[in-house]
Amino acid sequence: MKRLLITGAAGGLGRGMRRRLADRAEILRLSDLANLGDAAPHEEIMPCDLGDAAAVHRLVEGCDAILHLGGISVEDRFAPILNANILGVYNLFEAARAHGRPRIIFASSNHTIGYYRQDQRLDVTMPLRPDGLYGLSKCFGEGMARLYHDKFGQETALVRIGSCFEAPRNHRMLSSWMSYDDFVSLIDCCLRAPLLGCPIIWGVSDNDSTWWDNSAAAYLGWRPKDNAERFRAELDRTQPRPAPDSAAALYQGGPFAADGIHT
């Protein structure tokens, strides 16, 4: 691959993927509004406001694949979510259509289904139940990807990321955690698949306790290897368990389900 674009490259997950995907393309094109530091010899730095259509077209031009991590990644007011996660996603897909339809790996979220209870097991056919404006914007992104696949043949992997960090940070993440290594292996599977289509993939490691059935994406050959269970004892030692009637213990989206609308 000549050029791989990573949006949101200054965020925590973006920084992790910047290091781990360095050898996946001759050039990594890195974009964010935050400071990305100096470019390595194999990197291009292109700051971009996703709400700026012309800038997004310049960003996507010449790219062979896109890892789209950019946008607002937490609950926020509607205005910034509208610009980055709704208008920005439209701009990204329009730019991809105009520039040869490079394959997209879209960072969706477990917050698209955050109001399901933790005692429910979900497959990808379950109706969306977003737990806030952020989750709702990711529902829009999934719908945009499906539209552009059906209408234009744009291939996109919709990865509903649970909690992608170096280690799970609380007890809820024992079910939702995906390791960086497992995310990289998923990206590799999505990039090399002869036919990707537009699958919904649960972005979760091989945890003992999980809520999601990934059998619909089995054709990709992804086999996550890490397991959050090895962190349980440390979490039990360092953190109190959430109250049984709290959102953190009841809902798959955790505290997001208890938040109000940010105004």
The residues annotated with a catalytic role in the active site are 134
The dihedrals phi and psi of 53, each to the nearest 5 degrees, come to: -60, -45
| Angle (CA) 258 260 263, round 5° | 160
Residue 18's identity, in one-letter code, is: R
